[in-house]
Chains A and B, each alone.
Chain A
Amino acid sequence: MDIMTGVVYPVAGLVGLYIFVSLASLIWEGIDRKLVARMQRRVGPPLLQPLYDFFKLASKETIIPNTSNFMFRAAPVLSLATAIALLAYTPLGFEPILTSKGDVIVFIYLLALLSLFKILGAISSGNPYAKIGAAREAAIMVSREPAMMLAVFAIMWRLGKLGIEKPFSMSVFYQHNIWEIGTPMSFVGALILLYVFIVWLASEIEVGYFNIPDAEEEIAEGLLVEYSGRYLALFKLTKALKAFISASLVVAIFFPWGISGYLGLTGYAATIADLLFHTLKVFLLLFAVQSIFRATTGRLKVTQAVSFLWGRVFAASLLGSLLIAMEVIM
């Protein structure tokens, strides 16, 4: 493997993907705000509003509280860096750039690390409201991840039985998908796991029921209460990227079909067509999970959310995983 294919192409691809995904995710945020506004019979902001907000925030004066420590300034940068690194492992309509055996662990680790950096930045600010937000975020984070991990591991293990070269990697979904197994039991299991993933996605991007750590009305934006200017811009961008990446995971697991095969494209054209089609699928999924959920439900209490995630979602994940595993075991 020479230096071109080993280093230069992946880096160029990552930079290109980063630029594309940040634009797409910010534009999705604009579309989401517009759609929610129309659902409430308002006109809503222009589509590019999140971009304007980003540049406005980036040009504002950044205020550092005198009770904060160095993590307050490091956390936004680290969390954006994590999001960018995560893009290299995210299935975006084609195999991830740095795909290898077992990289699902890296994916889950980096996704959790995003929340961890947000928590670290918040508790470093010295503001008690931020600490309440951080405690809530931590509670939600440990409750939502096990259901997703169980489900994703069960699906990957089952797909591994169909014969693939790189088990437990994010490229598995583009070789076999969950609907291919085709038995009624696996079909029902997959539907249950789809429910698990939809709730997980909503809690990951913190909308509707799960808008708990940021809760503007109760704890004044919670985690982000002390952030302003450039650092707030970085956190907002990270949040948009995270929504896109989390939705990409769900799309890759349940709706991985590409479009390039039907159009007969090859090479770069196929990659770009698949990327655009994947973006469309992500937007549709986020419309159902983010826009409608956000427009129709309020927030739960943190205790209710935790018991919901353990009592219903984790139980559903267990049931779905068992149904999917059953045929192989028996």
Chain B
Amino acid sequence: MRLSPLIPTVLRNLAKKPATNLFPKVEPVPVPENFRGRLIYDVDKCVGCRMCVTVCPAGVFVYLPEVRKVTLWTGRCVFCSQCVDVCPTNALKMSDEFLLASYDKYDEKFIWFKEEEIEELKKKLEEQKKAKEAAKKAENK
């Protein structure tokens, strides 16, 4: 039995500091530039062009014709960043967040443009429509 050639290495390592990141006690390893983290959606910038719906390989986006926006559930997102590249108004962008564990797959942080917000926007659009019609009527008279 020859002695293992690893023994000197192993004994030298014993005197060295561990080369690990003690994550919950310290900050995690910093993310690089252009890191693809959680998807951020800006509803106000969205013009409803449906490019993201076409390009998304994972079916994250659902187009809402009444309000001409998209709603998205990033629980299914594959972080390919194609929607970000294709969005003409820069309504979508990738953040640096990557600690996305959750007990609930329909957690707040996975859903953008929620049910209530959609209703709110619908009402607002309706009011605008009515106001426009009223203005038109007033003009015609």
Taking Cβ atoms with an 8 Å cutoff, the residues of A that contact B are 35, 37-44, 199, 292, 295-297, 308, 312
Given contacts A295-B10, A296-B7, A312-B1, 14 further A-B contacts (CB under 8 A): A35-B14, A38-B13, A38-B14, A39-B13, A41-B13, A41-B16, A41-B19, A41-B20, A42-B18, A43-B20, A292-B7, A292-B11, A297-B4, A297-B6
Evaluate contact between A40 and B22: CB separation under 8 angstroms: no
Q: Which residues of B contact A312 (CB under 8 A)?
A: 1
> Interface size for chain B: under 10, 10 to 19, 20 to 34, or 35 or more residues?
10 to 19
Alpha-carbon separation in the docked complex, A37 to B13 (Å): 10
Alpha-carbon separation in the docked complex, A296 to B3 (Å): 9
Chain A minimum-CB-distance residue to B19: A41
Q: Which residues of B contact A295 (CB under 8 A)?
A: 6, 10
Taking Cβ atoms with an 8 Å cutoff, the residues of B that contact A are 1, 4, 6-7, 10-11, 13-14, 16, 18-20, 22
Q: Which residues of B contact A199 (CB under 8 A)?
A: 1
Q: How far is the CB of A186 from chain B (nearest CB, A)?
A: 23
Main secondary structure of the interface of A (DSSP, over half): helix
Evaluate contact between A43 and B10: CB separation under 8 angstroms: no
Select one of B6, B18, B22 contacting A38, CB under 8 A: B18
Evaluate contact between B10 and A39: CB separation under 8 angstroms: yes
Alpha-carbon separation in the docked complex, A37 to B18 (Å): 9
Select one of A39, A43, A297, A308 contacting B14, CB under 8 A: A39
Alpha-carbon separation in the docked complex, A38 to B17 (Å): 8
Give the one of A41, A44, A308, A312 with max B CB within 10 A: A41
Chain B minimum-CB-distance residue to A312: B1
Chain A minimum-CB-distance residue to B18: A43
Main secondary structure of the interface of B (DSSP, over half): loop
Chain A minimum-CB-distance residue to B3: A296
Q: Which residues of A contact B22 (CB under 8 A)?
A: 43
Q: How far is the CB of B1 from chain A (nearest CB, A)?
A: 7
Q: Which residues of B contact A308 (CB under 8 A)?
A: 1
Q: Which residues of A contact B19 (CB under 8 A)?
A: 41
Q: How far is the CB of B3 from chain A (nearest CB, A)?
A: 8
Q: How far is the CB of B22 from chain A (nearest CB, A)?
A: 7
Evaluate contact between A296 and B4: CB separation under 8 angstroms: yes
Give the one of B1, B6, B7, B20 with max A CB within 10 A: B1
Alpha-carbon separation in the docked complex, A42 to B14 (Å): 10
Q: Which 9 A-B pairs rank lowest in CB-CB distance, beginning with the nearest?
A: A296-B4, A296-B6, A39-B10, A41-B19, A43-B18, A39-B13, A295-B10, A297-B4, A38-B14
Q: How far is the CB of A40 from chain B (nearest CB, A)?
A: 7
15 pairs from A and B in contact (CB 8 Å cutoff): A38-B14, A39-B10, A41-B19, A41-B20, A42-B18, A43-B20, A43-B22, A292-B7, A292-B10, A292-B11, A295-B10, A296-B4, A296-B6, A297-B6, A312-B1
Alpha-carbon separation in the docked complex, A199 to B1 (Å): 10
Alpha-carbon separation in the docked complex, A40 to B16 (Å): 10
Give the one of B10, B13, B18, B19 with max A CB within 10 A: B10
Alpha-carbon separation in the docked complex, A296 to B2 (Å): 12
Evaluate contact between A42 and B20: CB separation under 8 angstroms: yes
Chain B minimum-CB-distance residue to A295: B10
Alpha-carbon separation in the docked complex, A292 to B11 (Å): 8
Alpha-carbon separation in the docked complex, A295 to B14 (Å): 11
Q: Which residues of B contact A35 (CB under 8 A)?
A: 14
Alpha-carbon separation in the docked complex, A128 to B17 (Å): 43
Alpha-carbon separation in the docked complex, A199 to B3 (Å): 12
Q: How far is the CB of A200 from chain B (nearest CB, A)?
A: 13
Q: Which residues of B contact A40 (CB under 8 A)?
A: 10, 13
Q: Which residues of A contact B1 (CB under 8 A)?
A: 199, 308, 312
Q: Which residues of A contact B7 (CB under 8 A)?
A: 292, 296
Chain B minimum-CB-distance residue to A195: B1
Q: Which residues of A contact B10 (CB under 8 A)?
A: 39-40, 292, 295-296
